[in-house]
Amino acid sequence: MTAADLAAHTGGWDPPLRAPYRDAEVAELGPPTQGAAVLEILRILDGFDLHAMDPDERAHLTVEAVKIGLRDRDDHITDPAAMRVAASDLYADDWVAHRRDSIDPARPGCPRPGTLNAGARPTCVRRTTRCP
């Protein structure tokens, strides 16, 4: 790296991603970070009464929500210039409700990839790989 490289560099400002969680607004960094996944996970969990659950139920739902959020991160978050969907689609109401409904409260799951189309209903597709 040379002085000319540093002189030629320009920085930018990306506004934070924002989503509600309980009585707060959570702000996260945008792609290519994990911010959208964090907001999706929180929004999934927001649909459950975690305080009323026993610790095992709460842990199970939390783990399942994290698995879904990380799966969606892997499938949809990349360099912002190459993304096919907006990061906010991952924590949009319809998508979050769809992903929340996929959680089985009694069994561990293997999150399947979902297809996000801006403005369309989410649809799930299956892969030939298996979860361990």
CA 60 – CA 51 distance, rounded (Å) = 13
Please name the fold of domain 15-124: Serum Albumin; Chain A, Domain 1 (1.10.246)
Residues of the chain below pLDDT 70: 117-132
Q: CA torsion 97→18→79→76, rounded to 10°?
A: 0
Task: State the angle between helix axes of 55-76 and 35-46 in degrees (0 to 180), rounded to the nearest 10.
Answer: 140
> 3-class DSSP state for residue 10?
coil
pTM > 0.85:
no
The per-residue pLDDT for 123 is: 41
What is the Cα 125 distance to its own chain's centre? 17
Q: Is the Cβ–Cβ distance between 88 and 95 less than 8 Å?
A: no
Pairing type for strands 17-21 and 24-28 reads antiparallel
Q: Is the Cβ–Cβ distance between 93 and 39 less than 8 Å?
A: no
Give me the residue spans of the domains in the chain. 15-124
The per-residue pLDDT for 127 is: 40
The per-residue pLDDT for 111 is: 85
